[in-house]
Amino acid sequence: MNRKIGVVDSGLGGLLVLEALQKVHPQAHYIYIGDQEHAPYGDCSKEELLHYGLRMMQYLYQRQVQEVVIACNTLCANVLHELRNAYPQMHIYDIIETTCCQLKQTEKQRILVLATHATVQKQAYQKTLKKICSAEIIELACPKLVPMIEENSSQEQVQKVLQEYLQPYIGSVDAIILGCTHYPILKNYIKNIIDVDIFDSNEAIAHQFSFYKSDTENQLEIYTTKDAMHMHEQIKKVLKKDYPVSKLQLD
Ligand code: DGL
């Protein structure tokens, strides 16, 4: 069976999810879209997010993709229902629920969730985690991080900004959730400031993926809605990978 899997995000972050998926499920044809034209998503309204999400879904539907990982917490927190309703034929994975499931019945007492403004506003992690564990949940919006990652800011700048965000929580939380797919790129810096268990979405979503036999050859298409050459360079610098990137014009 020809297995096509779509992975969408606002930019580079979702590529880490894609890489985790490829490790567990190499026999698939992956189509990745980074909607860099509209990034960062974290400051967008629900209406904008729905519009952007629907455009990407429409493209994947036309390409006969059966399964889609919305590798973007901001989209999941705000418009997952609407996207599922618009495309009931496709299996759309919820990255927030999957990430939270790693903390089922955890004994952690105080969990800090780092996410975008739009995810924090919806209290998406708070609501999901309350159902599965009794820890106190603190959600912190970190709007400066995604632009810094996309622009490949210097180590010093990143450390300074992270220090500002995290300083108030040193010694008072016992776990951190990276509630934005861009943030695992900064995992080591975060760990250096607060040395607690850090949870992200990458392996979680890859393992949650349904298993079925596929004879598809491993294929990878990476698209950006902005500038292909620029994204190619960004991936080289930030992720140290040399993936071909094409520009995608969406209606
Ligand atoms: N990486 C996305 C997320 O997980 C969106 C980040 C952004 O564009 O602000 O929320």
Q: Which residue from 10, 56, 148 has its CB within 8 A of the most atoms of ligand 1, so it is best to mutate?
A: 10
The catalytic residue positions are 72, 180
Q: Is the CB of 4 under 6 A from ligand 1?
A: no
Domain with CATH 3.40.50.1860 in the chain: 4-94+204-247, 97-201
Per-residue pLDDT of the chain (251 residues; tens, 9 = 90+): 678 999 999 999 999 999 999 988 888 899 999 999 999 999 999 999 999 999 999 999 999 999 999 999 999 999 999 999 999 999 999 999 999 999 998 999 999 999 999 999 999 999 999 999 999 999 999 999 999 999 999 999 999 999 999 999 999 999 999 999 999 999 999 999 999 999 999 988 888 776 556 677 889 999 999 999 999 999 999 999 999 999 999 97
Contact 119, 179 (CB under 8 A): yes
Q: Report, at the CATH architecture level, how domain 97-201 is classified.
A: 3-Layer(aba) Sandwich (3.40)
Residues in the chain, overall count:
251
Q: Is the CB of 99 under 6 A from ligand 1?
A: no
Q: Indicate whether this model's pTM tops 0.75.
A: yes
Ordered strands of the 110-115 beta sheet: 136-141, 110-115, 175-178, 197-199
CATH class assigned to 4-94+204-247: alpha beta
Q: Is the CB of 36 under 6 A from ligand 1?
A: no
Q: Which residue from 180, 201, 231 has its CB within 8 A of the most atoms of ligand 1, so it is best to mutate?
A: 180
